[in-house]
Amino acid sequence: MTRFRVLSFFLAAGLLATGPLAWADKLEPLRVANQKSTLKLLLSAAGELKDVPYPIEFSEFAAAAPLGEALNAGAVDVGYLGDAPYVFALGSGAPLKAVSITHFEGRYTTSILVPKDSPLQSVADLKGKRVVTNRGSIGHFLVIKALRDAGLKTADITFVNLLPSDAQGALQSGDADAWSTWDPYTTIALNQGNARILRKGTDLLTNNTYLVATQQATETKRAQVEDFVVRLERAYQWANTHHDEFAAAQAQVTRLPLAVHLASVNETRYTRAEITDAVIADLQQTADIYLEEGVLAQPVKVAQGFDKHFNDFRAPTQTPLASAP
């Protein structure tokens, strides 16, 4: 039995929680791409960075696009991407695999925002307006879906392509009429930025986030990836029932008021979604829409970007975790 299969046995039996294995120093580090400290903060607050039988090396990224590029380049082993950014990453041609899916449900998921005093009242009012978002992001995809739902085309608006760090300023200064973004930026804008929601993405998006690994990591660091999948699921279960502690941990890192993060965590629930044919079909629809819109230069078959093997590695839970629609 190989060293990795031995570790997989201990993972399945739940024995790793007793402490590092004697030969753990022989395991290679798992290089984790971290977007705005999200994963490291969550895992640390939930106590899931204790007694890890292999090193974890975190890299920080400002947004999904550069994170996806790092995955494609093999500079990191795993990272989190939303529906649209994952399709964009797969379109670059690198062999990536979604190994776990977390479904986000709540008030502060991806939304199109406008200033509180904006005359815009519906997506139909965006015709001829400037919408700021990041090309290839889940915010970009929400705009496409919302426009289609309202009977408009992307040609009916002007996209202003900026990273979230610059997008809020563009909205506040009037350089953009609307901003399509995601949490924590929605939380910040709604609580501090004098913004309101023009259109929620709840019924237009799956609100799934994919833990994506390089194919090389699933082959050469499979045991580490399996363990990380379980730790991350346990961490989200913890976040669902420890709102005050999770918000406090976020505030300590972001330096934003505690009330901002409390507003978000109190309104958000995280559940695990199995890797199923229905989930894959939903992501294929995203890829097809991106191709129609000219965001992708060629078709992408997203089924190649999933590894159902990892459905077998999950954390025990006191209450059933719902699958995403």
The pLDDT of residue 108 is 65
Coil vs helix vs strand at 160? strand
The pLDDT of residue 324 is 35
The phi-psi region of residue 129 (left if phi > 0; otherwise alpha if psi is between -120 and 50; otherwise beta) is beta
Who's near 325: CB < 8 A, 6+ residues apart? 206
Cα dist from 160 to 127, 152, 249, whole Å: 14, 17, 33
Q: What is the full per-residue pLDDT of the chain (325 aa) written as tens digits?
A: 344 444 443 444 343 433 334 345 589 999 999 987 889 999 999 999 999 999 999 999 888 888 999 999 999 999 999 888 899 899 888 899 999 999 988 766 789 999 999 999 999 999 999 999 988 888 999 999 999 999 999 999 999 999 888 998 999 999 999 999 988 788 888 877 689 999 999 889 988 999 999 999 999 999 999 999 999 999 999 999 999 999 999 999 888 889 888 988 998 999 999 999 999 999 999 999 999 999 898 999 999 999 999 999 887 764 433 333 3
The pLDDT of residue 210 is 96
The pLDDT of residue 298 is 92
Which structure tokens are listed for 128? 């001829």
Is the separation of the CB atoms in 142 and 109 below 8 Å?
Answer: no
Backbone angles phi, psi at 206, to 5 degrees: -75, -20
Considering the entire predicted model, what is its pTM? Answer: 0.82
Side-chain half-sphere exposure of 171, counting CA atoms within 13 A = 30
The pLDDT of residue 257 is 86
Taken in order of first residue, the domains within the chain and their CATH numbers are 3-105+206-312 (3.40.190.10), 111-200 (3.40.190.10)
The pLDDT of residue 49 is 97
**What span, in angstroms and rounded, lies between the C-alpha atoms of 275 and 147?**
29
The DSSP secondary structure of 38-107, one letter per residue, reads: HHHHHHHHTTTTSS-SS-EEEEEESSHHHHHHHHHHTS-SEEEEEHHHHHHHHHTT--EEEEEEEEEEET
The pLDDT of residue 199 is 96
The pLDDT of residue 37 is 81
The pLDDT of residue 6 is 40
The pLDDT of residue 317 is 61
CA 319 to chain centre: 23
The pLDDT of residue 25 is 56
Is the separation of the CB atoms in 225 and 30 below 8 Å?
Answer: yes
The pLDDT of residue 318 is 44
